[in-house]
Structure 1
């Protein structure tokens, strides 16, 4: 029997704060910064479900799925202070990664859920696939850079035959969008799989500052010898980040680089197996 993966979106708005009662006010603010204050987000949930296609041509009736998600999740969380809403958010901080896990577990008795993605903003989201305390966290940012696609040993005509207009001698530029996804264990108290501030700083120091407003071929030593295609840029970002992310206590899972609305590349640090 044929099976399909279907996805339903839902939204809610809620407030939260990162605040541990066992820490002083000063310690909380030092550890969590502005996130120690009560603040809010417009959250988006993507619920992925897998199952056979029935004789009506459906895995599930999406109208019923919508009502279940609203009853079990979004209707309960909308316009609430998350820290005081569910028991799971009292004992563990309602971080994006912990929330994705809890939403998955709350929906599991009612739907054949295989993945929950929770977007806190367009630059921060988490994913949970039912792997005990393992979750994924993605951060995104951008840099602007120029490059030229050409091999030094080839003539302009030969490079143009391979790379087209991208081989022009003065190069061209892009507004690159970069996403890095890390995987790790969600801490049972802080709700975090990695120090978010440290991860954002790592991306800034290792990638954004060295690459932004540069001519990659000339200003980034690595690309003096390697053609800065989107593929090679993504691979280099992976190599720059893999060990530093491990030092933070997580694992780099994926780098995604969007060069333009038409071109993007994904590089994985471990074997990639799509959700069954």
Structure 2
């Protein structure tokens, strides 16, 4: 029986985005504040995922041994260090979150049956790397606040109450939505980046956060005049809005996760999915 287990680790380190072949002005233009001397730091959180068959003791790997390997090969070397100078790999390709995850995989792969490396630079930015050469998936978390009412124009008030319960009440209700946008692409062999983070954040803000924040979705967002704004429909619509502008940045929209409340969330897996027909009202069958 195959099983995946995850081991968490932490390290604190600093880094700087700076290419010596560029002038100071060129570095500032490309990397912004991240180019400042002598650099900046993060409290990184690392999740190492291992896959394998359960042994006679009911384990994929002895986690005490896993802990030692991660410490010996990664955290003891990186903790309280200046990443640009610690590992030779970071002299060729900058220590972006994407590239740090890639090199951690390379360091651990000879010792552990890896299936995923997840590295958090901070709670709103993280990377997943799965051993596919220079490919990585980067996730940005953001938020917006909005109200909605769950009710289909095809149904009576009583029928909507039957389906949506309290969410169908006439004046609606609100949520503080948390949105996770994941994109997949190839790391640049020099900068270590799969995408310009500022440009990606600007796209998310322009197409989603600014239009959606502090709105009544049913009335302020034209799409939801005829489409019930469930968390699922909101997430799917966000994917339609972001797919093309994200692709223009040179990466592929991988996943949209919308967290409506601590109890409710949904995920839309976007790669190879067609979003061209997302319009019009949801067809709700008549109640029997």
TM-score, normalised by the number of residues in structure 2: 0.92
SS at structure 2 position matched to 1:159? helix
Note the alpha carbon deviations across 1:123-172, whole angstroms, 9 max, x for none: 00001011111110000100000000001122211111110000011000
| Superposition deviation, residue 3 in structure 1 | 2.0
Gaps of 5+ in 1: none
| Superposition deviation, residue 31 in structure 1 | 1.4
Task: Trace 1:22-171 onto structure 2 (pairs within 5 A).
Answer: 22-37=21-36, 38-171=39-172
Question: What count of residue pairs does the alignment treat as equivalent?
Answer: 271
Tell me how far apart the structure 2 counterparts of residues 55 and 154 of structure 1 sit (CA, whole Å): 57
- 1:12 aligned residue: 11
Tell me how far apart the structure 1 counterparts of residues 53 and 40 of structure 2 sit (CA, whole Å): 41
- 1:241 aligned residue: 242
Note the alpha carbon deviations across 1:174-197, whole angstroms, 9 max, x for none: 000000100010111000011111
Q: CA RMSD in A?
A: 1.0
Task: Trace 1:207-218 onto structure 2 (pairs within 5 A).
Answer: 207-218=208-219
SS at structure 2 position matched to 1:29? helix
TM-score, normalised by the number of residues in structure 1: 0.96
- 1:189 aligned residue: 190
Tell me how far apart the structure 2 counterparts of residues 101 and 252 of structure 1 sit (CA, whole Å): 20
SS at structure 2 position matched to 1:222? helix
SS at structure 2 position matched to 1:139? strand
| Superposition deviation, residue 271 in structure 1 | 6.3
| Superposition deviation, residue 270 in structure 1 | 2.7
- 2:283 aligned residue: none
Whether the aligned pair in 1 keeps the contact of 2:252 and 2:271 (CA below 8 Å) is: no
**Runs of 4+ residues over 2 Å off in structure 1:** none
